[in-house]
Every structure is written in C-alpha cells, then in structure tokens.
C-alpha cells in the first residue's frame, strides 16, 4: 500500500487545519457578547420561518376558476372546450356541478411544468344556485357567462344573478376578479361586449335602488355596490370586473384562457 502514503499525509494536514479553524471559531464565539449571539440566532430563526411560510402560502394559493351564469348561456360547452378542445355537441341543461382539474387544452402541448386549473361549472338552474356559495370562497376567479345571442330577454335575470355574485361576502372581501364572458359570438346577430356591459350596468343601477330599499328593512349583511349618487359602473367595484367575447362552440376561448392564466399562475 505504498501509493496511499502521500494521501494519508495530505488528510493529516487537512485535519490539523480543520481543528485549528474550529478552535478559532470557538474562541471567537466566546468573545461575542451573549446578547449579540441571541440576536443572530433570533434573526436566523425568523428568516427560516418566513421562508417556510412563504413556500406554504404559495402552495395553497387557489387554482379554482368558477364558471357561472344563467342556464343555457354555454358554461358546459365552454368547460369541455377548455378541457379537451371539443364542444361535446348537444349538452343538455346540467343538473349537477361539473368539476375537473386539468391543464388547459391549448397548453397541453407546451413543454415544462404547467399548473393544472381546477374548473367548476355550476349550473344556472335556480335549484342548484346555492351550490355557488360553496365554491365562491375558494375561487381565484369567476367567469360569468352571458348568452350574447339571446341577451335582451335575459338581461334582467342575468344582471340580478351577477348582482348577487358581486355583493357576495367572499367576493367582496377577497376581491375575487370577475370576467363577464359574452358567449356565442360565432353568430353575427350576437351583441357586442360593450353593448352587453352597458346594459348590465344600467340594470344593476336600477337593482341597486330597489335592493337598498329592501336591505334597510331586513337584509343586513348585503354589501352595497358602486358609489352612492353616481350611475353604476363596473369600474367602481372593489374587485376587477372585465368583459370578454367567446364562442364555446367554435373554440374561440383565448380571452377566457388569458383570464384564467392571469389568476392561476402557471
Ligand atoms: N351558437 C352557439 N351556441 C352555443 C355556444 N355555446 C353553447 N351553445 C349552445 O347553447 C346551449 C346551452 O349550452 P350549455 O353549455 O349546455 O349551457 P349551460 O350554461 O351549461 O346551461 P346549464 O347547464 O343549464 O346551466 C346548447 O345548445 C349549446 O349548443 C356558442 O358559443 N355558440
Ligand atoms: Mg351546463
């Protein structure tokens, strides 16, 4: 084992050096006043806790997007379009919530790690509306689907539904962003998003007056919308309310996907 000799010597040199450093470190630490030492330890502990809690917080950030709106507006069609790029032709009035966690269809061919989205489609049938209250508190964003074809006959009902969402305690407190998705724009007779936005704003303005008269009497925990004395506009809301156009049927859903990705970071 002659070849090992120089190695042993080298290891011996390193060991001596290490021992020397250790002694120096101990001596040095004994010179430091104990208060300084405690402060240093406290700073170390606090930073470690901070880093851990930031990581935990990041992980628990919601990836839930809620699809809601009147029955027949096209939520389920949109759901499948986002999930697998098909419209599942002939969807019927949904009687149950539709839920899924997946990577958006348009992103499925992208390389790298993409965060899946938890998409919930809550049917518009009045019996199932209470279901919405279960999902709103955990939502990172709400897509309110409006039928842009049959808009005028449904304007009042849609505005009432949207009013309830915009005054929901979780939505107000957590400032959950809302996207008004004007669907079915594949048809030329569909109304534009600007027209729809203005009509809903007008309708909510009327609702606000009638509801605030009511809430004086019994509905106490309702939040009020907008600025008193001014015509209602979505820009007055605490949370961000935007409008987009889409067609679940033909797969023109880019603006909806953009909204989802803005609020569920990949
Ligand atoms: N032209 C056109 N029709 C659409 C579009 N999206 C949905 N539809 C049609 O509208 C009807 C209702 O669509 P659904 O997706 O079932 O509506 P929904 O919002 O899920 O309705 P509920 O489940 O009752 O709340 C169906 O006949 C769809 O084919 C669209 O983008 N363009
Ligand atoms: Mg449906």
**How do residues 44-60 score in pLDDT, each as one tens digit?**
999 999 998 887 766 56
pLDDT surpassing 90 at residue 192: yes
- Calculate how far, in angstroms, residue 6's C-alpha sits from the geometric centre of ligand 2: 79
**CATH class of the domain at 61-263:** alpha beta
Closest to 103 (Cα-Cα) out of 92, 112, 94, 91: 112
- Counting residues of the chain whose pLDDT is more than 90, the rounded percentage is 65
Q: Is 88 in the pocket of ligand 1 (CB under 6 A)?
A: no
Spell out the domain ranges in the chain: 2-58, 61-263
Number of Cβ within 10 Å of residue 69's Cβ equals 27
Atom of ligand 1 nearest to the CA of 128: 25
Is 161 in a helix, a strand, or coil? helix
CA dihedral sign of residues 145, 146, 147, 153 = positive
Do the Cβ atoms of 42 and 82 come closer than 8 Å? no
Interstrand relation of 139-147 and 178-183 (parallel, antiparallel or unpaired): parallel
Give the Cα separation of 38 and 178 in Å (integer).
49
Label residue 226 by pLDDT band (50, 70, 90). confident
pLDDT surpassing 60 at residue 221: no
CA dihedral sign of residues 19, 21, 22, 24 = positive
- Calculate how far, in angstroms, residue 89's C-alpha sits from the geometric centre of ligand 2: 12
Closest to 260 (Cα-Cα) out of 128, 103, 152, 87: 103
Do the Cβ atoms of 185 and 246 come closer than 8 Å? yes
Q: Is 75 in the pocket of ligand 1 (CB under 6 A)?
A: yes
Is 156 in a helix, a strand, or coil? helix
Q: What number is the average pLDDT over the span 136-144?
A: 96
pLDDT tens sequence across 62-85 = 899 999 999 999 999 999 999 999
Phi, psi of 211 (to 5 degrees): -75, -35
- Calculate how far, in angstroms, residue 141's C-alpha sits from the geometric centre of ligand 1: 21
- Counting residues of the chain whose pLDDT is more than 70, the rounded percentage is 92
pLDDT surpassing 60 at residue 2: no
């Amino acid at each position: 084992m002659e070849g090992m000799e120089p190695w042993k010597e080298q290891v011996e040199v390193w060991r001596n050096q290490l021992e020397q450093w250790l002694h120096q470190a101990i001596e040095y630490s004994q010179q430091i006043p104990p208060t300084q030492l405690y402060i240093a330890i406290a700073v170390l502990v606090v930073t470690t806790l901070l880093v851990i809690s930031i990581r935990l917080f990041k992980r628990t950030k919601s990836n839930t997007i809620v699809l809601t709106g009147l029955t027949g507006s096209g939520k389920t069609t949109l759901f499948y379009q986002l999930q697998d790029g098909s419209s599942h032709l002939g969807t019927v009035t949904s009687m149950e919530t539709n839920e899924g966690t997946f990577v958006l269809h348009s992103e499925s061919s992208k390389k790298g790690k993409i965060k899946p989205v938890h998409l919930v489609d809550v049917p518009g049938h009045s019996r199932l509306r209470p279901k919405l209250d279960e999902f709103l508190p955990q939502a990172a964003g709400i897509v309110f689907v409006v039928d842009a074809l049959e808009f005028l006959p449904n304007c009042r009902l849609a505005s009432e539904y949207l009013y309830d969402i915009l005054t929901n305690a979780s939505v107000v407190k957590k400032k959950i962003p809302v996207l008004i998705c004007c669907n079915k724009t594949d048809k030329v007779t569909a109304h534009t998003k600007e027209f729809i936005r203005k009509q809903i704003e007008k309708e909510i303005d009327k609702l606000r007056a009638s509801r605030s008269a009511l809430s004086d009497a019994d509905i106490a925990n309702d939040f009020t919308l907008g600025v008193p004395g001014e015509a209602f506009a979505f820009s007055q809301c605490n949370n961000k309310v935007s409008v987009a156009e889409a067609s679940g049927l033909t797969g023109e859903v880019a603006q909806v996907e953009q909204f989802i990705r803005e609020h569920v970071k990949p």
